[in-house]
Structure 1
Amino acid sequence: MGFDHNDHYHPLLIRHLPPHPRTALDVGCGTGRFARRLARLGMEVDAIDPSPEAIARARALSREVTGGPGPRFEHADVTDVHLPKAHYDFISCLASIHHMPFTTVTALRDALAPGGVLVILGCYPEKTALDWAWSLAAVPVNAAARLAVAARDRVPRGRVRSGLAPAGRERVQAPVAPPAVPLPEIRGQAAALLPGCRIRRLLFWRYLLVFRDGG
Protein backbone atom coordinates (compact mmCIF):
# COMPACT_ATOMS: atom_id res chain seq x y z
CA MET A 1 0.00 0.00 0.00
CA GLY A 2 2.93 2.35 0.55
CA PHE A 3 2.82 5.57 2.51
CA ASP A 4 -0.57 6.18 4.15
CA HIS A 5 -1.42 9.68 5.33
CA ASN A 6 -3.79 8.53 8.06
CA ASP A 7 -1.38 5.94 9.45
CA HIS A 8 1.33 8.61 9.51
CA TYR A 9 -0.67 10.60 12.06
CA HIS A 10 -1.55 7.72 14.40
CA PRO A 11 1.21 8.61 16.92
CA LEU A 12 0.02 12.23 16.96
CA LEU A 13 -3.53 11.16 17.78
CA ILE A 14 -2.39 8.79 20.51
CA ARG A 15 -0.48 11.63 22.19
CA HIS A 16 -3.88 13.22 22.91
CA LEU A 17 -5.17 10.30 24.97
CA PRO A 18 -6.48 11.39 28.37
CA PRO A 19 -4.85 9.95 31.51
CA HIS A 20 -5.72 6.30 32.18
CA PRO A 21 -8.27 5.79 29.36
CA ARG A 22 -10.43 2.67 29.70
CA THR A 23 -12.93 2.93 26.84
CA ALA A 24 -12.60 4.13 23.25
CA LEU A 25 -14.72 4.50 20.14
CA ASP A 26 -13.24 4.60 16.63
CA VAL A 27 -15.69 6.07 14.10
CA GLY A 28 -15.22 5.09 10.47
CA CYS A 29 -12.69 2.45 11.52
CA GLY A 30 -12.15 0.90 8.09
CA THR A 31 -10.15 -2.31 8.46
CA GLY A 32 -9.40 -1.45 12.09
CA ARG A 33 -5.72 -0.52 12.06
CA PHE A 34 -6.07 2.39 14.50
CA ALA A 35 -8.66 0.55 16.61
CA ARG A 36 -6.17 -2.26 17.12
CA ARG A 37 -3.52 0.26 18.20
CA LEU A 38 -5.91 1.54 20.85
CA ALA A 39 -6.77 -1.97 22.01
CA ARG A 40 -3.09 -2.79 22.41
CA LEU A 41 -2.88 0.10 24.86
CA GLY A 42 -5.31 -1.72 27.14
CA MET A 43 -8.58 -0.03 26.24
CA GLU A 44 -11.94 -1.62 25.52
CA VAL A 45 -12.53 -0.44 21.96
CA ASP A 46 -15.77 -0.18 19.99
CA ALA A 47 -15.16 0.40 16.29
CA ILE A 48 -17.84 1.13 13.70
CA ASP A 49 -17.92 1.59 9.95
CA PRO A 50 -20.75 1.75 7.38
CA SER A 51 -18.90 -0.60 5.00
CA PRO A 52 -19.71 -4.28 5.62
CA GLU A 53 -16.63 -5.29 3.61
CA ALA A 54 -14.35 -3.17 5.81
CA ILE A 55 -15.84 -4.57 9.01
CA ALA A 56 -15.53 -8.16 7.78
CA ARG A 57 -11.86 -7.55 6.95
CA ALA A 58 -11.28 -5.80 10.29
CA ARG A 59 -12.64 -8.80 12.21
CA ALA A 60 -10.57 -11.25 10.17
CA LEU A 61 -7.38 -9.25 10.59
CA SER A 62 -7.92 -8.86 14.32
CA ARG A 63 -8.30 -12.60 14.77
CA GLU A 64 -5.14 -13.11 12.72
CA VAL A 65 -2.82 -10.58 14.35
CA THR A 66 -4.06 -10.63 17.94
CA GLY A 67 -5.13 -14.22 18.36
CA GLY A 68 -8.36 -12.96 19.92
CA PRO A 69 -11.37 -10.79 19.19
CA GLY A 70 -9.54 -7.48 19.71
CA PRO A 71 -11.80 -4.43 19.29
CA ARG A 72 -15.56 -4.90 19.01
CA PHE A 73 -16.21 -4.19 15.33
CA GLU A 74 -19.75 -3.28 14.27
CA HIS A 75 -21.20 -2.59 10.85
CA ALA A 76 -23.02 0.68 11.56
CA ASP A 77 -23.43 4.27 10.45
CA VAL A 78 -22.69 6.60 13.35
CA THR A 79 -25.52 8.89 12.23
CA ASP A 80 -28.02 6.05 12.79
CA VAL A 81 -26.77 4.42 16.00
CA HIS A 82 -27.49 5.37 19.58
CA LEU A 83 -24.24 6.12 21.37
CA PRO A 84 -24.16 5.77 25.16
CA LYS A 85 -24.04 9.11 26.92
CA ALA A 86 -20.89 10.09 28.84
CA HIS A 87 -19.28 6.71 28.23
CA TYR A 88 -16.08 6.88 26.17
CA ASP A 89 -12.78 8.22 27.44
CA PHE A 90 -11.47 8.63 23.89
CA ILE A 91 -13.26 8.97 20.55
CA SER A 92 -11.40 9.04 17.25
CA CYS A 93 -12.64 9.85 13.79
CA LEU A 94 -10.00 9.41 11.07
CA ALA A 95 -10.67 10.85 7.60
CA SER A 96 -14.36 10.02 7.88
CA ILE A 97 -16.17 13.08 9.25
CA HIS A 98 -16.54 14.48 5.70
CA HIS A 99 -18.71 11.45 4.88
CA MET A 100 -21.39 12.70 7.28
CA PRO A 101 -22.93 16.00 8.42
CA PHE A 102 -20.43 17.85 10.59
CA THR A 103 -23.19 18.24 13.19
CA THR A 104 -22.61 14.56 13.96
CA VAL A 105 -19.86 15.79 16.27
CA THR A 106 -22.54 16.72 18.82
CA ALA A 107 -23.38 13.02 19.28
CA LEU A 108 -19.69 12.23 19.65
CA ARG A 109 -19.30 15.07 22.15
CA ASP A 110 -22.20 13.80 24.23
CA ALA A 111 -20.74 10.28 24.23
CA LEU A 112 -17.55 11.47 25.95
CA ALA A 113 -17.05 10.55 29.58
CA PRO A 114 -16.10 13.41 31.91
CA GLY A 115 -12.60 14.48 30.95
CA GLY A 116 -12.77 12.47 27.71
CA VAL A 117 -11.14 13.50 24.46
CA LEU A 118 -12.49 13.62 20.91
CA VAL A 119 -9.90 13.70 18.11
CA ILE A 120 -10.80 14.21 14.46
CA LEU A 121 -8.29 13.76 11.67
CA GLY A 122 -10.20 15.53 8.95
CA CYS A 123 -9.85 16.31 5.25
CA TYR A 124 -10.68 19.59 3.55
CA PRO A 125 -10.77 20.87 -0.04
CA GLU A 126 -8.31 23.49 -1.28
CA LYS A 127 -10.20 26.75 -1.60
CA THR A 128 -7.86 29.53 -0.49
CA ALA A 129 -4.35 30.63 -1.39
CA LEU A 130 -3.17 29.33 1.98
CA ASP A 131 -4.74 25.93 1.26
CA TRP A 132 -2.88 25.70 -2.04
CA ALA A 133 0.38 26.83 -0.45
CA TRP A 134 0.17 24.02 2.11
CA SER A 135 -0.68 21.54 -0.65
CA LEU A 136 2.32 22.67 -2.68
CA ALA A 137 4.58 22.30 0.35
CA ALA A 138 3.27 18.77 0.96
CA VAL A 139 4.05 17.46 -2.54
CA PRO A 140 7.84 16.97 -2.21
CA VAL A 141 7.53 15.69 1.36
CA ASN A 142 4.86 13.25 0.25
CA ALA A 143 7.05 12.00 -2.61
CA ALA A 144 10.03 11.53 -0.29
CA ALA A 145 7.91 9.67 2.26
CA ARG A 146 6.56 7.32 -0.41
CA LEU A 147 10.06 6.56 -1.63
CA ALA A 148 11.23 5.88 1.92
CA VAL A 149 8.33 3.51 2.61
CA ALA A 150 8.87 1.72 -0.72
CA ALA A 151 12.55 1.21 0.14
CA ARG A 152 11.67 -0.03 3.62
CA ASP A 153 9.09 -2.48 2.28
CA ARG A 154 11.69 -4.07 0.00
CA VAL A 155 13.57 -5.24 3.08
CA PRO A 156 12.35 -8.73 4.20
CA ARG A 157 10.51 -8.55 7.51
CA GLY A 158 8.24 -10.70 9.65
CA ARG A 159 4.65 -10.93 8.48
CA VAL A 160 3.22 -9.62 11.74
CA ARG A 161 4.82 -7.11 14.07
CA SER A 162 3.48 -5.18 17.05
CA GLY A 163 -0.01 -6.59 16.55
CA LEU A 164 -0.47 -4.95 13.15
CA ALA A 165 -1.11 -6.77 9.89
CA PRO A 166 0.98 -5.78 6.87
CA ALA A 167 -0.64 -2.62 5.53
CA GLY A 168 -1.15 -3.92 1.99
CA ARG A 169 -3.44 -6.67 3.27
CA GLU A 170 -5.83 -4.18 4.81
CA ARG A 171 -7.10 -2.72 1.55
CA VAL A 172 -10.81 -3.11 0.79
CA GLN A 173 -13.00 -1.29 -1.67
CA ALA A 174 -15.05 1.00 0.56
CA PRO A 175 -17.15 4.01 -0.47
CA VAL A 176 -15.17 7.23 -0.60
CA ALA A 177 -16.20 10.84 -1.08
CA PRO A 178 -14.13 13.98 -1.60
CA PRO A 179 -14.26 16.55 1.21
CA ALA A 180 -16.57 19.48 0.46
CA VAL A 181 -16.45 21.80 3.50
CA PRO A 182 -13.61 24.36 3.48
CA LEU A 183 -11.40 24.62 6.54
CA PRO A 184 -12.63 28.11 7.59
CA GLU A 185 -16.20 26.79 7.63
CA ILE A 186 -15.11 23.75 9.62
CA ARG A 187 -13.48 26.06 12.16
CA GLY A 188 -16.70 28.07 12.46
CA GLN A 189 -18.94 25.04 12.93
CA ALA A 190 -16.53 23.47 15.40
CA ALA A 191 -16.37 26.64 17.50
CA ALA A 192 -20.16 26.55 17.83
CA LEU A 193 -20.59 22.81 18.41
CA LEU A 194 -17.39 22.01 20.31
CA PRO A 195 -16.61 25.08 22.42
CA GLY A 196 -12.97 25.24 23.38
CA CYS A 197 -11.79 22.79 20.72
CA ARG A 198 -8.46 23.33 18.97
CA ILE A 199 -7.92 22.90 15.24
CA ARG A 200 -4.61 22.98 13.44
CA ARG A 201 -3.71 22.37 9.85
CA LEU A 202 -1.49 19.38 9.13
CA LEU A 203 0.83 18.88 6.20
CA PHE A 204 -0.74 16.02 4.27
CA TRP A 205 -4.06 17.62 3.30
CA ARG A 206 -5.52 17.13 6.73
CA TYR A 207 -6.40 18.98 9.90
CA LEU A 208 -6.45 17.88 13.53
CA LEU A 209 -9.35 18.79 15.81
CA VAL A 210 -9.02 18.10 19.53
CA PHE A 211 -11.91 18.58 21.97
CA ARG A 212 -11.65 17.83 25.70
CA ASP A 213 -14.75 17.39 27.79
CA GLY A 214 -14.73 19.83 30.66
CA GLY A 215 -16.38 17.44 33.09
Structure 2
Amino acid sequence: MTTLLPRIMRALDQFHATHPWDHNAHYHRWMLRQLPRRFNRALDVGSGSGDFARLLASRAGAVHGIDVDPTIVDRARGLTDPAAPVTFTVGDALKEVPPGPYEVITCVATIHHMPFSDALTCFRYHLAPGGTLVVVGVYRPQSLSDYLIVAVAIPANVAMACIKNKGRKAPRPASMTAPTRSATMTFADVVRDAHQALPGARLYRRLFWRYTLVWHRH
Protein backbone atom coordinates (compact mmCIF):
# COMPACT_ATOMS: atom_id res chain seq x y z
CA MET A 1 0.00 0.00 0.00
CA THR A 2 2.88 2.37 0.78
CA THR A 3 4.14 2.08 -2.84
CA LEU A 4 0.69 2.58 -4.35
CA LEU A 5 -0.25 5.46 -2.05
CA PRO A 6 1.97 8.14 -3.70
CA ARG A 7 0.33 7.44 -7.08
CA ILE A 8 -3.14 7.65 -5.57
CA MET A 9 -2.26 10.87 -3.76
CA ARG A 10 -0.93 12.47 -6.97
CA ALA A 11 -4.18 11.61 -8.73
CA LEU A 12 -6.12 13.00 -5.77
CA ASP A 13 -4.09 16.22 -5.87
CA GLN A 14 -4.94 16.63 -9.56
CA PHE A 15 -8.63 16.13 -8.83
CA HIS A 16 -8.49 18.46 -5.84
CA ALA A 17 -6.84 21.20 -7.93
CA THR A 18 -10.03 21.53 -10.00
CA HIS A 19 -12.49 20.58 -7.23
CA PRO A 20 -11.01 22.31 -4.17
CA TRP A 21 -12.52 22.44 -0.71
CA ASP A 22 -10.98 23.54 2.56
CA HIS A 23 -10.18 20.52 4.74
CA ASN A 24 -9.35 22.80 7.66
CA ALA A 25 -12.67 24.63 7.54
CA HIS A 26 -14.32 21.22 7.86
CA TYR A 27 -13.20 21.27 11.51
CA HIS A 28 -14.12 24.86 12.36
CA ARG A 29 -17.53 24.03 13.83
CA TRP A 30 -16.02 21.18 15.82
CA MET A 31 -13.42 23.58 17.20
CA LEU A 32 -16.09 26.03 18.30
CA ARG A 33 -17.81 23.26 20.22
CA GLN A 34 -14.66 22.84 22.33
CA LEU A 35 -14.77 26.48 23.43
CA PRO A 36 -16.88 28.49 25.90
CA ARG A 37 -19.86 30.39 24.53
CA ARG A 38 -18.24 33.69 25.52
CA PHE A 39 -14.66 34.65 26.31
CA ASN A 40 -12.64 37.82 26.46
CA ARG A 41 -9.48 37.40 24.35
CA ALA A 42 -8.53 34.84 21.71
CA LEU A 43 -5.36 34.23 19.69
CA ASP A 44 -5.49 32.46 16.32
CA VAL A 45 -2.01 31.31 15.28
CA GLY A 46 -1.47 30.92 11.55
CA SER A 47 -4.68 32.82 10.91
CA GLY A 48 -4.35 32.74 7.10
CA SER A 49 -7.26 34.46 5.37
CA GLY A 50 -8.98 34.92 8.75
CA ASP A 51 -11.92 32.56 8.36
CA PHE A 52 -11.66 31.02 11.82
CA ALA A 53 -10.64 34.28 13.51
CA ARG A 54 -13.89 35.80 12.23
CA LEU A 55 -15.83 32.87 13.69
CA LEU A 56 -14.10 33.38 17.02
CA ALA A 57 -15.12 37.04 16.92
CA SER A 58 -18.78 35.99 17.25
CA ARG A 59 -17.95 34.85 20.80
CA ALA A 60 -14.96 36.95 21.86
CA GLY A 61 -14.39 40.45 23.10
CA ALA A 62 -11.23 40.61 20.98
CA VAL A 63 -9.47 38.25 18.57
CA HIS A 64 -5.89 38.55 17.42
CA GLY A 65 -4.72 36.67 14.33
CA ILE A 66 -1.05 36.27 13.50
CA ASP A 67 0.57 34.80 10.38
CA VAL A 68 4.04 34.97 8.83
CA ASP A 69 2.74 35.55 5.29
CA PRO A 70 2.11 39.26 4.61
CA THR A 71 0.06 38.53 1.47
CA ILE A 72 -2.46 36.33 3.24
CA VAL A 73 -2.62 38.78 6.18
CA ASP A 74 -3.53 41.57 3.76
CA ARG A 75 -6.23 39.34 2.33
CA ALA A 76 -7.58 38.59 5.83
CA ARG A 77 -7.81 42.30 6.59
CA GLY A 78 -9.63 42.93 3.33
CA LEU A 79 -12.17 40.19 4.02
CA THR A 80 -12.92 41.35 7.57
CA ASP A 81 -15.58 43.85 8.58
CA PRO A 82 -13.73 46.86 10.07
CA ALA A 83 -16.27 46.87 12.92
CA ALA A 84 -15.45 43.28 13.92
CA PRO A 85 -13.29 42.85 17.05
CA VAL A 86 -10.48 41.23 15.03
CA THR A 87 -6.93 42.37 14.30
CA PHE A 88 -4.36 40.68 12.09
CA THR A 89 -0.59 41.09 12.22
CA VAL A 90 2.37 39.69 10.32
CA GLY A 91 4.83 37.95 12.57
CA ASP A 92 6.44 34.86 14.03
CA ALA A 93 3.99 33.42 16.55
CA LEU A 94 6.84 32.13 18.73
CA LYS A 95 8.47 35.54 19.04
CA GLU A 96 5.98 38.31 18.25
CA VAL A 97 2.69 37.40 19.90
CA PRO A 98 1.09 40.40 21.63
CA PRO A 99 1.22 39.84 25.39
CA GLY A 100 -1.51 37.61 26.79
CA PRO A 101 -2.96 35.99 28.58
CA TYR A 102 -5.59 34.60 26.20
CA GLU A 103 -8.61 32.59 27.28
CA VAL A 104 -8.56 30.79 23.92
CA ILE A 105 -5.67 29.92 21.61
CA THR A 106 -6.27 28.14 18.31
CA CYS A 107 -3.94 26.86 15.62
CA VAL A 108 -5.20 25.26 12.41
CA ALA A 109 -2.83 23.33 10.11
CA THR A 110 0.08 25.59 11.07
CA ILE A 111 1.97 23.99 13.93
CA HIS A 112 3.87 21.62 11.60
CA HIS A 113 5.57 24.74 10.19
CA MET A 114 7.08 25.41 13.65
CA PRO A 115 9.31 23.56 16.11
CA PHE A 116 6.51 21.50 17.63
CA SER A 117 7.50 21.36 21.30
CA ASP A 118 8.58 25.01 21.30
CA ALA A 119 5.21 26.01 19.85
CA LEU A 120 3.24 24.11 22.49
CA THR A 121 5.39 25.62 25.24
CA CYS A 122 4.75 29.09 23.82
CA PHE A 123 0.99 28.49 23.65
CA ARG A 124 0.98 27.22 27.24
CA TYR A 125 2.80 30.36 28.36
CA HIS A 126 0.26 32.68 26.71
CA LEU A 127 -2.84 30.72 27.78
CA ALA A 128 -4.74 32.08 30.77
CA PRO A 129 -5.55 29.83 33.74
CA GLY A 130 -8.77 28.01 32.85
CA GLY A 131 -8.14 28.71 29.16
CA THR A 132 -8.45 26.31 26.23
CA LEU A 133 -5.99 25.45 23.48
CA VAL A 134 -7.35 23.79 20.33
CA VAL A 135 -5.03 22.59 17.56
CA VAL A 136 -5.90 20.99 14.25
CA GLY A 137 -2.71 19.58 12.79
CA VAL A 138 -1.41 17.36 10.03
CA TYR A 139 0.81 14.32 10.45
CA ARG A 140 2.83 11.88 8.36
CA PRO A 141 1.15 8.46 8.02
CA GLN A 142 3.29 5.58 9.25
CA SER A 143 1.31 2.91 11.10
CA LEU A 144 -1.26 0.46 9.73
CA SER A 145 -4.05 2.36 11.48
CA ASP A 146 -2.83 5.57 9.82
CA TYR A 147 -3.10 3.99 6.39
CA LEU A 148 -6.52 2.55 7.15
CA ILE A 149 -7.73 6.08 7.93
CA VAL A 150 -6.11 7.30 4.70
CA ALA A 151 -7.96 4.56 2.79
CA VAL A 152 -11.25 5.86 4.16
CA ALA A 153 -10.29 9.52 3.68
CA ILE A 154 -9.55 9.24 -0.05
CA PRO A 155 -13.08 8.37 -1.28
CA ALA A 156 -14.58 10.59 1.43
CA ASN A 157 -12.47 13.48 0.13
CA VAL A 158 -13.71 12.95 -3.44
CA ALA A 159 -17.31 12.77 -2.25
CA MET A 160 -16.97 15.96 -0.20
CA ALA A 161 -15.37 17.78 -3.12
CA CYS A 162 -18.22 16.79 -5.41
CA ILE A 163 -20.85 17.81 -2.85
CA LYS A 164 -19.25 21.18 -2.04
CA ASN A 165 -18.54 22.03 -5.68
CA LYS A 166 -21.78 20.45 -6.98
CA GLY A 167 -19.73 18.35 -9.39
CA ARG A 168 -18.28 21.39 -11.18
CA LYS A 169 -14.78 22.78 -11.41
CA ALA A 170 -14.30 25.60 -8.92
CA PRO A 171 -11.79 28.33 -8.07
CA ARG A 172 -9.50 27.84 -5.09
CA PRO A 173 -10.89 29.49 -1.91
CA ALA A 174 -8.92 32.35 -0.39
CA SER A 175 -8.25 30.19 2.67
CA MET A 176 -6.26 27.78 0.49
CA THR A 177 -3.86 30.29 -1.06
CA ALA A 178 -1.32 30.42 1.78
CA PRO A 179 1.98 28.52 1.38
CA THR A 180 1.88 24.94 2.66
CA ARG A 181 4.41 22.37 3.82
CA SER A 182 4.19 18.60 4.25
CA ALA A 183 4.17 17.19 7.77
CA THR A 184 7.28 15.37 8.99
CA MET A 185 6.07 14.14 12.39
CA THR A 186 4.08 10.94 12.74
CA PHE A 187 1.01 10.87 14.95
CA ALA A 188 2.98 8.85 17.52
CA ASP A 189 5.63 11.61 17.56
CA VAL A 190 2.94 14.25 18.02
CA VAL A 191 1.31 12.40 20.92
CA ARG A 192 4.62 11.80 22.70
CA ASP A 193 5.81 15.41 22.48
CA ALA A 194 2.37 16.87 23.22
CA HIS A 195 2.00 14.87 26.44
CA GLN A 196 5.44 16.03 27.54
CA ALA A 197 4.62 19.69 26.94
CA LEU A 198 0.92 19.60 27.88
CA PRO A 199 0.11 16.86 30.41
CA GLY A 200 -3.50 15.77 30.01
CA ALA A 201 -3.85 16.93 26.40
CA ARG A 202 -6.43 14.97 24.38
CA LEU A 203 -5.34 13.96 20.87
CA TYR A 204 -7.21 12.04 18.16
CA ARG A 205 -6.55 11.12 14.57
CA ARG A 206 -9.22 12.48 12.22
CA LEU A 207 -10.29 12.09 8.62
CA PHE A 208 -8.70 14.14 5.84
CA TRP A 209 -5.12 13.80 7.11
CA ARG A 210 -5.70 15.74 10.31
CA TYR A 211 -5.42 15.24 14.05
CA THR A 212 -6.90 17.31 16.86
CA LEU A 213 -5.44 18.39 20.19
CA VAL A 214 -7.40 19.97 23.04
CA TRP A 215 -5.82 21.11 26.28
CA HIS A 216 -7.32 23.00 29.22
CA ARG A 217 -4.99 24.92 31.48
CA HIS A 218 -5.91 24.49 35.16
TM-score range, shorter chain: 0.7 to 0.9
**Once the two structures are superposed, what CA deviation does each residue of 1:106-164 show, in whole Å capped at 9, x if it has no partner?**
1111111111000000000111111111000111111111110011989xxxxxxxxxx
Distance 2:43 2:167 in 1: 31
The code of the aligned residue for 1:56 comes to D
The aligned counterpart of 2:217 is 213
Matched, 1:123 2:127: no
The aligned counterpart of 1:161 is none
Distance 2:98 2:148 in 1: 39
The aligned counterpart of 1:97 is 111
The aligned counterpart of 1:135 is 150
- Residue 82 and residue 60 in structure 1: after superposition, are their counterparts in 2 closer, same or farther (change >3 A)? closer
Deviates more, 1:170-179 or 1:73-82: 170-179
Which blocks of at least 5 consecutive residues in structure 1 are unaligned? 155-166
Which SS does the other structure have where 1:80 is aligned? Answer: coil
1:30 CA drift (Å)? 0.4
The aligned counterpart of 2:181 is 177
The code of the aligned residue for 1:36 comes to R
1:174 CA drift (Å)? 3.0
Distance 2:120 2:98 in 1: 12
1:209 CA drift (Å)? 0.2
> TM-score normalised to the size of structure 2?
0.84
Of 67, 91, 97, which aligns to 1:76?
91
Residue correspondences, number: 198
- Residue 37 and residue 171 in structure 1: after superposition, are their counterparts in 2 closer, same or farther (change >3 A)? closer
The code of the aligned residue for 1:60 comes to G
Indicate if the aligned counterparts of 2:22 and 2:175 stay in contact, CA closer than 8 A: no
Distance 1:18 1:109 in 2: 18
Distance 1:75 1:118 in 2: 21
Distance 1:208 1:43 in 2: 25
Segments ≥4 residues shifted beyond 4 Å: none
1:19 CA drift (Å)? 5.2
1:22 CA drift (Å)? 1.3
The aligned counterpart of 2:5 is none
Deviates more, 1:115-124 or 1:103-112: 103-112
Distance 1:171 1:21 in 2: 25
- Residue 191 and residue 139 in structure 1: after superposition, are their counterparts in 2 closer, same or farther (change >3 A)? same
The aligned counterpart of 1:199 is 203
The code of the aligned residue for 2:45 comes to V
Indicate if the aligned counterparts of 2:107 and 2:136 stay in contact, CA closer than 8 A: yes
The 5 Å alignment of 1:53-64 reads 53-62=71-80
Distance 2:36 2:167 in 1: 33
Which blocks of at least 5 consecutive residues in structure 2 are unaligned? 1-18
The code of the aligned residue for 1:101 comes to P
The code of the aligned residue for 2:29 comes to P
What is the RMSD computed on CA atoms of the aligned residues?
A: 2.0
Which SS does the other structure have where 1:54 is aligned? Answer: helix
